[in-house]
Amino acid sequence: MRIAVTGTHGSGKTTLIDDFVSARPDYESVPEPYWLLAQEGVPFADGPNSADLEEQLRQSCNLILDHAGEGNLIFDRCPLDFLAYLDVVSHGEGFEWVPDGKLLTRIGRALATLDWLVFVPLLPVDEIEAPIEYPQLRARVDRRLKAMLRQDEMGLLATGPRLLEVSGSREARVAQIAAALR
């Protein structure tokens, strides 16, 4: 199975992936594009911006497509994360970011290689005790992702992965994924 975990920053995606891989060592995690690009020496601005998010979107598509023939992978983020961030951040930068047809086709191809898309929405009561960077951006991206995923506004999920929205404790979230995979 090929799984991607999606959600805004500070929602518990990476923790969920770590917990899942601990419970299922037959799965390998693929880090989020930001960290892989940073390891390659790609410079990022101080704070989110459209140019950096576009680079991460391209990297996300590449990661998923480059590993298309491999099974038992769980990706930290997917192209939909970056579409949501780009929508929110570009409005803050004073323009509307719209993907071209070629990019949408590539995103659709990447998503079609996934079996499951696990969405980690923000909870009404935040479980994260540490201060979160960009709290307003976090909330806006969460709302945007909810709309994109629940309504499939771009039609990218119709032939793509099944959607699983997880909630509850760390253990409950892992159990929800395990149940869906059965």
Q: How far is it, in rounded angstroms, from Cα 5 to Cα 60?
A: 12
**165, two tokens:** 């929205």
Give the per-residue pLDDT at 153: 83
Residue 162 pLDDT = 95
Residue 120's pLDDT is what? 97
CATH code of the domain in which 161 resides: 3.40.50.300
Q: What is the pTM of this model?
A: 0.95
Q: By residue range, what is the domain housing residue 124?
A: 2-181
Condensed to tens digits (0 to 9), the pLDDT of residues 119-154 reads 999 987 767 777 889 999 999 999 999 999 999 988
- At 154 the pLDDT is 84
pLDDT of residue 112: 95
**What are the residue ranges in the chain where pLDDT is below 50?**
none
Number of domains the chain contains? 1
Contact 12, 120 (CB under 8 A): yes
